[in-house]
Chain A
Amino acid sequence: MDIRHDEGFPETLNQTPRGAWPEDSLARVPYWVYQDEANYEREMRRLFEGATWNFVCLEADIPNRGDYRTNQVGALPVIVVRGPDGQINCFENRCSHRGALIAFDDGGNVQNNFKCVYHAWSYDLAGNLRGIAFERGINGVGGMPKDFCRDNFSPRKLRTTTLCGLVFATLSPDTPPIEDYIGSEVTARLKRVLNRPIRVMGRFTQPLPNNWKLYVENVKDTYHASILHTFLATFRISRLTQGGGVLVSPDGGNHSSYTIAIPEGANAGAYKEQQIRSDNDQFALADPGVLESVEEFGDHIQLQILSVFPGFILQQIHNCLAVRHVVPRGLGKMDLVWTYFGFEDDSAEMYARRLRQQNLVGPAGFISMEDGCVGGFVQRGTAAAADHVSVIEMGGATTESQATRATEASVRGFWKAYRRHMGY
């Protein structure tokens, strides 16, 4: 059962710390949401540490017992580890003793336990406090009190769930099962791509000079893609005049947009008529190998961008596949963590093709490069406009799925989910 927007939270404020939401409209977003410290703190608690599923790693990252990765759920540092019976555990990366990180590398293997470097308190693979160095002191002197109960001092544990090789975690007991959370339509689009075991091909981090939400909105914004990104439009990878649409989950938070590889027909001249910069006749590739692609999923969808609230993105552009993780780093900063992947059964040709097509995305992506700077342009442009609003009204003021991408339905969907979780 998909989650609906009207399943409200008990502590709804109906009012933000800055007063009522402008016009109470999903088509209006006040700029203080990217600037307000108290709001940011509230996001960490209510969104990331609340009833949301947060991407923490790929199953492929931790195939064996004791394999772990570290990550962040909002501001919360976490360890994700494969336990003795193959289950995946996740717990706060904070020693119960003095609060130091328990693991400080990106990942690795620990066999049976984690040991904090500071005073050697140790934790099993489920995050239970198991050992305390010199717990009984030396020759009966010092040590911990006899009545100290380790069980009362374990790091906070997160529930985990997996879907198609993705691992998500949540601190809340109330987060619904993952497929209900994502919604059936968007879940089907996720399963469409992640249909067999994957192989990681590379990782890159792109620090961005903007609030995390500006990137998430950009991902959901089907309207900008072929206008800002000349490369997409010029090479007909995605134009609004091509077939396609956007699916938005009933609660608004998750989406999947797609472009279908069919000719534009009568709409072929529309970009010319609109005098859109990205329709660029002056540019041709000397070596089109970057664009050489094959139909891989049997449905003519050549581009699909999918997001799961709050910070997960799955991307298929031709044969270029990646997951992106949005990690807030304070009000005006975030990290975008790219993991490029293929499938374990890729032929050598397909593997080489993916390596070439990876030029399209990432920090230096022919297509995605502009997304690195445009959030910063908004962050700077709105510096003195906290109480002004952006206008997100393409395609109306609602959030339902639409058979066009000349709409901002999925951006409004984000704000619908955001306001629900934040209690606005």
Chain B
Amino acid sequence: MDVARLVELNAAYARVIDSEQFEAWPELFHDPCLYKVTTADNVARDLPSGIIYAESRGMLHDRISSLRKVNIYERQRYRHIVGLPVVLGQANGAAEVETPFLIVRIMRDGTMDLFATGCYRDKVKPDASGALRFAERIVICDGGRFDTLVAIPF
């Protein structure tokens, strides 16, 4: 797996979220897929729950339409800083990749908080057009505390 292409994929991922082009976010996944936000502690204890858990691109789209049209929260956005991907292995045509991240939350009044750090544990493979997409992205947060609410995906 070409690391430069993984970097490009991660950069596109961070950009669609941080620039609030949320509708483009599900397109970076295969369908079906697995997207889950959990914590290092749950992973260590082999507990499967996520605060966000999606098995299809449709479920990812539902997250976006819910945050756009349904849920109530104070205006906020994220700034992702994504580290360099490490390819851990290959299985079933997919690369297993781990990439560290840091997310700053910027509230409407300008308050900036370190909102989450952790690593993405991914299975990445090309789609029919050859573009790399996530078959799986498990967001493993280092901490187990999620301040106030999580409207925007990590």
Chain A residues engaging chain B, CB cutoff 8 angstroms: 106, 200-209, 228, 230-231, 234, 280, 282-283, 285-287, 289-290, 335, 340, 351, 355-356, 358-359, 362-366, 369-370, 372-374, 376
Would A209 and B53 be within 8 Å (CB), given that A203-B41, A373-B74 are in contact?
no
Q: How extensive is the interface on chain B, given as a class?
A: 35 or more
Q: Which residues of the other chain, A, contact B69 by a CB distance below 8 angstroms?
A: 280, 282-283
Q: Which residues of the other chain, A, contact B66 by a CB distance below 8 angstroms?
A: 231, 283, 366
Would A204 and B146 be within 8 Å (CB), given that A285-B62, A369-B73 are in contact?
yes
A-B contact count (CB 8 A): 125
Q: Which residue of B lies closest to A234 (CB)?
A: B70
6 pairs of A and B residues whose beta carbons are closest in the complex? A202-B49, A287-B58, A372-B149, A286-B58, A363-B146, A364-B150
The 8 Å CB contact of B53, one of A200, A228, A356, A373, is A356
A-B pairs with beta carbons under 8 Å apart, 18 shown:
A201-B48, A202-B50, A204-B146, A207-B146, A230-B72, A280-B69, A283-B70, A285-B62, A286-B61, A286-B62, A287-B58, A287-B61, A289-B58, A289-B59, A355-B48, A362-B51, A364-B37, A369-B72
Q: Which residues of the other chain, A, contact B65 by a CB distance below 8 angstroms?
A: 283, 286
Would A355 and B53 be within 8 Å (CB), given that A202-B47, A204-B144, A207-B147 are in contact?
yes
Q: How many Å lie between the Cα of A206 and that of B39 in the bound state?
A: 13
Q: Which residues of the other chain, A, contact B49 by a CB distance below 8 angstroms?
A: 201-204, 340, 355, 358
Chain B residues engaging chain A, CB cutoff 8 angstroms: 37-39, 41-42, 47-56, 58-59, 61-62, 65-66, 69-74, 144-151
The 8 Å CB contact of A373, one of B38, B56, B148, is B148
Chain B: interface secondary structure?
loop
Would A202 and B42 be within 8 Å (CB), given that A287-B62, A355-B53, A370-B72 are in contact?
yes
Q: Which residue of B lies closest to A352 (CB)?
A: B55
Q: Which residues of the other chain, B, contact A289 by a CB distance below 8 angstroms?
A: 55-56, 58-59
Asked if residues A230 and B71 are in contact (CB atoms below 8 Å), the reply is yes
| Most chain B beta-carbon neighbours within 10 Å: one of A209, A282, A372 | A372
Q: Which residues of the other chain, B, contact A373 by a CB distance below 8 angstroms?
A: 72-74, 148-149
Q: How many Å lie between the Cα of A286 and that of B59 in the bound state?
A: 7
Q: Which residues of the other chain, B, contact A283 by a CB distance below 8 angstroms?
A: 65-66, 69-70
Q: How many Å lie between the Cα of A203 and that of B146 in the bound state?
A: 11
Asked if residues A363 and B51 are in contact (CB atoms below 8 Å), the reply is yes
Asked if residues A207 and B47 are in contact (CB atoms below 8 Å), the reply is no
A289-B58, A359-B54 are known; give 15 further A-B pairs, CB within 8 A. A204-B49, A205-B144, A286-B59, A286-B61, A286-B62, A286-B65, A355-B53, A356-B53, A358-B50, A359-B59, A363-B146, A364-B51, A369-B151, A370-B71, A373-B149
